[in-house]
Amino acid sequence: MKQRRVRFAPSPTGPLHMGGVRTALYNYLYAKQAGGKFILRIEDTDSHRFVPGSEEYVIESLHWCGIVPDEGVDKDGKIVETPCAEHPHAPYRQSQRKHIYRKYAEQLVSTGNAYYAFDTPEELDALRKEAEAKKSSFTYNYHSRTSLKNSLTLPAEDVERRLAQESGWTIRFKIPENRVVKMNDLIRGDIEVNTSTLDDKVLWKRTDELPTYHLANIVDDYLMEITEVIRGEEWLPSLPLHYLLYEAFGWEENRPQFAHLSLLLKPDGKGKLSKRDGDRLGFPVFPLQWTNEDGEISHGYREDGYFPEAFVNILAFLGWNPGNEQEIFTLEELIEVFSLERVVKSGARFNHDKAKWYNQEYLRRKSTKELVKAFRALEGERLSAFDDNYIGAAVELIKERAYFVHEFWNLCGFLFEAPQEYDPSGVNKFWKDDIKGIIPQVAHFLENMEPFSSNVIEENLENLIITRSWGMGKVMNTLRLLLVGRSSGPGVADIMEILGKKEVLRRISNAIARLG
RNA sequence: GGCCCUAUCGACUAGUUGGUUAGGUCGCAACUCUCUCAAGGUUGAAACACGAGUUCGAAUCUCGUUGGGGCUACCA
């Protein structure tokens, strides 16, 4: 079997959305499992919508996820522009392949599969508005093209003159009339469409003298020897055109197989997931943070504290499952078990809670060493006076209660800074006259405790409290309040062990002094 | 409007050759553990969109309806 070659082909019109990352991921998994190549190609044939920085954003996003292209991007993370052994099909940016497409577009005209059209955008707009007024719609097709300005209707000399004189003309594909195109999709099975419902799509644009997606895409997939096209469902309606193009070029033998992925839907309401949903519902829709030209910041999974492994896992399970009950998969494991047959056909709704759960699962799987490093990266200054062992003990105490590393400080900051104030409702509830007499006795008892370890503290303290009939809850909750300033948190004995005897006694006496 | 795709708990989904108490995960609830809050453990509520048809028997096959999604640009 020949080598599998798949591609991810985003257009640089802004930040890559998580749905795009999922498409890239599925392509990557498919390629890696088959021992094939994953290619990145930049489809920048729309000069008007180009957004600076989006190409770099795509590459950085994929890199963060560990979805690294085999072809199209060099070791420095740049799109390859000149062919070499590893990147034989360069350039991988379509704007730099313009000369290639022109030839193929004209080939289609000469074989009668396409024609020059001279209608201006304004003329076509007018026709659309006119049709709209009559509650119908204008379509450039077998029916209407006979009455429009193109090389099919105009005399040959007129066409010659226009091609020579006029700067603007487009090339349109001549969709055959009343034929059934039989297609196959790896996920959806057989699909049939009658060509009479299709329109004569523009293949070559007059406005920026570049091919449209349809032409560039087919030519590049052919030239780059792509074997499977795994892309979003929004392309399904143009699949018949793409089939027809392969046929018109005589490339049917080399036509890739297609797989159309369902779209990611809004968590609530209607429609597909969009940029705005993230801000509205409080979760990121982009892998990495993005700042647009107006300075507006969109959240990114990376900056919001998601681990890339978790993000990849979340994406993989949005529209695919392994068929068993395992939910946590590394990239390597996903490569092993992924299959297009198990991709779900209907759209998947993103769920923020489940995404957080995934991150929590990955957080729990991290070693203390890794978490200490991540914690330091986030809270460097506040932790600088403490060594890794101390921070490690703190992390181990609270890691089970966190979804994200950025929650660590709130969960265990009291181990690094003595409380500045005491939760008023806790004070109100616990700091009563009887306990005021008990706490100094407890402090005195702790002074002589050796070793000052969680188990010893727990056991002895419990004995003391029970013997004196003080009440476990009352004493322990008060101690927690005095030690950390709050009435909730980890076990008191565990907190004491990490703080150490000296600090514990200091905090208790400070608290007594402060609270009176 | 037209064309195409799609339809199982609130969400993600299993259920690939028709026969299951329709399973799992997130979330939710209760109980439990417990010095608090989490976490953990146990349990529970929760779904085959609807209508025909085929069949002894349909979540599963067929048709229709309805819902959802996409496309309908000289955007991708």
Per-residue pLDDT reduced to its tens digit, A343-395: 999 999 999 999 999 999 999 999 999 999 999 999 999 999 999 999 999 99
Report CA(A345)–C1'(B3) in Å, whole number.
19
Secondary structure (H, E, C), A33-82: HCCCEEEECECCCCCCCCCCCHHHHHHHHHHHHCCCCCECECCCCCECCC
> What is the spatial distance between Cα A107 and Cα A204, in angstroms, rounded to a whole number?
12
Whether ipTM > 0.90 holds is: yes
Å: A325 CA to B23 C1': 10
**Residue-level pLDDT at A272:** 87
Q: Give the length of chain A.
A: 516
CA of A364 to C1' of B38 (A): 14
CA torsion sign, A75 to A81 to A87 to A92?
positive
Q: Which amino acid is at A337?
A: V
CA-to-C1' distance for A497 and B29, Å?
Answer: 36
pLDDT tens-digit series, residues A397-435: 999 999 999 999 999 999 999 999 999 999 999 999 999
Nucleotide nearest the Cα atom of A341 (by C1'): B16
Residue nearest B67 (alpha carbon to C1'):
A270
Q: Two tokens at A334?
A: 């996903």
* DSSP E strand boundaries for A100-211: 114-117, 170-173, 180-185, 189-194, 202-204
The nucleotide minimizing the C1' distance to residue A128's CA is B73
d(CA A349, CA A342) in angstroms, rounded, equals: 17
Give distance CA A357 / C1' B45 (Å).
Answer: 22
Among A173, A256, A265, smallest CA distance to A213 is for: A173
- Residue A357, nucleotide of least CA–C1' distance: B26
Is the Cα dihedral A319, A323, A329, A332 positive or negative? Answer: negative
Q: How far apart are CA A363 and CA A359, in angstroms?
A: 6
Tens of pLDDT, residue by residue, chain A (516 residues): 789 999 999 999 999 999 999 999 999 999 999 999 999 999 999 999 999 999 999 999 999 999 999 999 999 999 999 999 999 999 999 999 999 999 999 999 999 999 999 999 999 999 999 988 888 889 999 999 999 999 999 999 999 999 987 678 999 999 999 999 999 999 999 999 999 999 999 999 998 899 999 999 999 999 999 999 999 999 999 999 999 999 999 999 999 999 999 999 988 867 888 888 888 888 999 999 999 999 999 999 999 999 999 999 999 999 999 999 999 999 999 999 999 999 999 999 999 999 999 999 999 999 999 999 999 999 999 999 999 999 999 999 999 999 999 999 999 999 999 999 999 999 999 999 999 999 999 999 999 998 999 999 999 999 999 999 999 999 999 999 999 999 999 999 999 999 999 999 999 999 999 998
| Cβ partners under 8 Å of residue A160, min gap 6 | none
Lookup: nucleotide whose C1' is closest to A495 CA = B35
pLDDT, residue A270, reads 78
Catalytic (active-site) positions of A? 275
Nearest residue for B12, CA–C1': A318
Q: How far is the CA of A117 from the C1' of B57 (A)?
A: 61
Q: Note the CA–C1' distance, A446 to B40, in angstroms.
A: 30
Nucleotides of B under 7 A from a protein CB: 1-8, 10-16, 23-27, 34-39, 68-76
Q: Which nucleotide lies nearest residue A260, CA to C1'?
A: B5
Cα separation, A94 vs A208, in Å, equals 13
Q: If you measure CA to C1', which residue is closest to nucleotide B7?
A: A346
The separation, in Å, between residue A353 CA and nucleotide B27 C1' comes to: 7
Nucleotide nearest to A271 (CA to C1'): B69
Instruction: Give me the pLDDT at residue A280, please.
Output: 84
Contact A169/A163 with Cβ under 8 angstroms? yes
Q: What is the pLDDT of residue A21?
A: 98
pLDDT number for residue A445:
96
